């Protein structure tokens, strides 16, 4: 008895397969890249900022030296890595014991669980921590507690908190800002420059940001090089801006750019937000009785990922602008990344058919051009 051949097993395509995500992070970039790659994304990295090493930070040293010798009433720990780094830097300067003694006599407020963990690891105990993990709720708590004539040490998390600090000072507090891991421009701006060019060319589908300084740095680089309007146009239309939190998103929102922001300011949540947003932006059509989804550098044909080189992908996107419409060779030449002539279009069509794995998906219309073999009643956005 002859057994029938087994049916092919369909393997689910990872959520971000076929998409390219640009990273701008200065720290934890490897962790973020691994999370994205696990979901199938290709990653480009162009650090938008660099972190000033704590032992070299004169501002942090002066704030630490002063706090190690003066009374402190309230301490605000905003991030775990920042608070740990501050304590380690103080120990390296020989100020660790004095600083912890002063902080231990103060009321310590921790913004979230990671900050709480760092506070406890330093041998301190937090007095209160907001469930929302928001600086705004900490500010409200301080103002309700009464800060007039009190000294408040605020551990910053990579950027100033002017509204937070100004409201405390307006309420009569003496505020000492502790600038843990300050940002500066990258030593080598070339990778970031290439990342901006990739966004302009729509060679990345999303740009991921983990800090407001990185977002501001990208916009500043683009504007200084005359590419600002073009980058904003790309971010408003084709390239997803994804930010880890609302503070990080502020530079884009002020520029009128829509932003994907997770409910919780965590790297894992940021990756999930990207994984939810990008597939929703993909175009889906039915071609020759096949389900086809257009992603950044690939098409998914009946659940199978089909990577495409830039030229055949450009042709496919041109054909999919109005699925089923005949697109002339002249129009397709204009769509090619590097231009060309009729022969270049014919070569691109041949490569596209081969890459898709189904020749009849793209039809030749004699003397007119090419079209997708679309059932006009089954087009979906």
Q: Give the Cα separation of 104 and 139 in Å (integer).
A: 20
Pairing between strand 20-23 and 206-209? parallel
What are the tens digits of pLDDT across the range 304-330?
999 999 999 999 999 999 999 999 999
3-state SS track over the chain: CCCCCCCCCCCCCCCCCCCEEEECCCCCHHHHHHHHHHCCCEEEECCCCEECCHHHCHHHHHHHHHHCCCCCCEEEECCHHHHHHHHHHHHHCCCHHHHHHHHHCCEEEECCHHHHHHHHHCCCCCCECCCCCCHHHHHHHHHHHCCCCCEEEEECCCCCCHHHHHHHHHCCCEEEEECCCCEECCCCCHHHHHHHHHHHCCCCCEEEECCHHHHHHHHHHHHHCCCHHHHHHHHHHCCEEEECCHHHHHHHHHCCCCEECCCCCCHHHHHHHHHHHHHHHCEEEEECCEEEEECCCEEEECCEEEECCHHHHHHHHHHHCCCCCCECHHHHHHHCCCCCCHHHHHHHHHHHHHHHCCHHHEEEECCCEEEECECHHHCEC
The pTM assigned to this predicted structure is 0.75
Query: Is 164 within 8 Å of 177 (Cβ atoms)?
Result: no
- Dig out the tokens for 241 from the structure: 């801006």
Task: Report the alpha-carbon angle 82-83-85, nearest 5.
Answer: 65
- Dig out the tokens for 258 from the structure: 């829509």
Query: Is 275 within 8 Å of 19 (Cβ atoms)?
Result: no
Q: Give the Cα separation of 277 and 294 in Å (integer).
A: 14
Domains of the chain with CATH codes: 20-51+186-281 (3.40.50.10090), 54-181 (3.40.50.10090), 283-378 (1.10.10.10)
Q: Give the Cα separation of 281 and 121 in Å (integer).
A: 44
Q: Which residues of the chain have pLDDT under 70?
A: 1-11, 53, 158-159, 375-381
User: Exposed, middle or buried by CB within 10 Å (0-12, 13-18, 19+), for 163?
Assistant: exposed
pLDDT computed for residue 127 by the predictor: 95
Q: Give the Cα separation of 109 and 129 in Å (integer).
A: 6
Distances 74 to 55, 68, 126, 144, 252 between C-alpha atoms, Å = 25, 14, 10, 13, 33
């Amino acid at each position: 008895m002859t057994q029938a051949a087994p049916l092919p097993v369909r393997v689910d395509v990872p959520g971000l397969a076929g998409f390219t995500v640009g990273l701008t992070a200065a720290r934890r970039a490897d962790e973020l890249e691994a999370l994205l790659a696990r979901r199938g994304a290709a990653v480009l990295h162009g650090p938008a900022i660099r972190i000033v090493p704590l032992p070299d930070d004169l501002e942090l040293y002066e704030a630490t030296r002063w706090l190690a010798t003066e009374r402190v009433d309230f301490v605000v720990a905003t991030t775990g890595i920042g608070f740990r780094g501050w304590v380690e830097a103080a120990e390296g300067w020989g100020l660790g014991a004095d600083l912890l003694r002063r902080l231990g006599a103060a009321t310590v407020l921790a913004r979230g669980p990671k900050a709480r963990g760092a506070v406890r690891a330093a041998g301190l105990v937090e007095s209160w921590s907001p469930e929302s993990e928001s600086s705004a709720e900490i500010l409200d708590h301080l103002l309700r507690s009464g800060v007039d004539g009190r000294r408040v040490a605020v551990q910053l998390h990579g950027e100033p908190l002017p509204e937070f600090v100004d409201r405390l000072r307006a309420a009569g507090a003496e505020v000492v800002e502790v600038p843990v891991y300050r940002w500066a421009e990258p030593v080598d701006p070339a990778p970031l420059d290439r990342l901006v060019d990739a966004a302009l060319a729509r060679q990345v589908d999303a740009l991921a940001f983990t800090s407001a300084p990185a977002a501001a740095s990208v916009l500043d680089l683009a504007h200084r090089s005359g590419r600002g309007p073009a980058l904003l146009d790309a971010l408003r239309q084709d390239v997803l801006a994804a930010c880890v939190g609302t503070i990080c998103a502020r530079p884009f929102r002020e520029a009128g750019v829509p932003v994907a922001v997770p409910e919780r300011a965590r790297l894992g949540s940021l990756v999930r937000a990207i994984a939810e947003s990008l597939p929703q932006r993909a175009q889906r059509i039915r071609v020759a009785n096949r389900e086809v989804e257009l992603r950044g550098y690939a098409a998914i044909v009946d659940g199978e990922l089909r990577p495409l080189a830039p030229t055949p992908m450009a042709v496919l996107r041109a054909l999919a602008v109005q699925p089923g419409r005949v697109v002339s060779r002249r129009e397709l030449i204009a769509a090619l990344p590097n231009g060309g002539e009729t022969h270049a279009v014919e070569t691109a069509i041949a490569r596209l058919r081969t890459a898709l794995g189904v020749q009849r998906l793209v039809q030749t219309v004699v003397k007119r051009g090419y079209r997708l073999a679309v059932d006009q009643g089954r087009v979906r956005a």
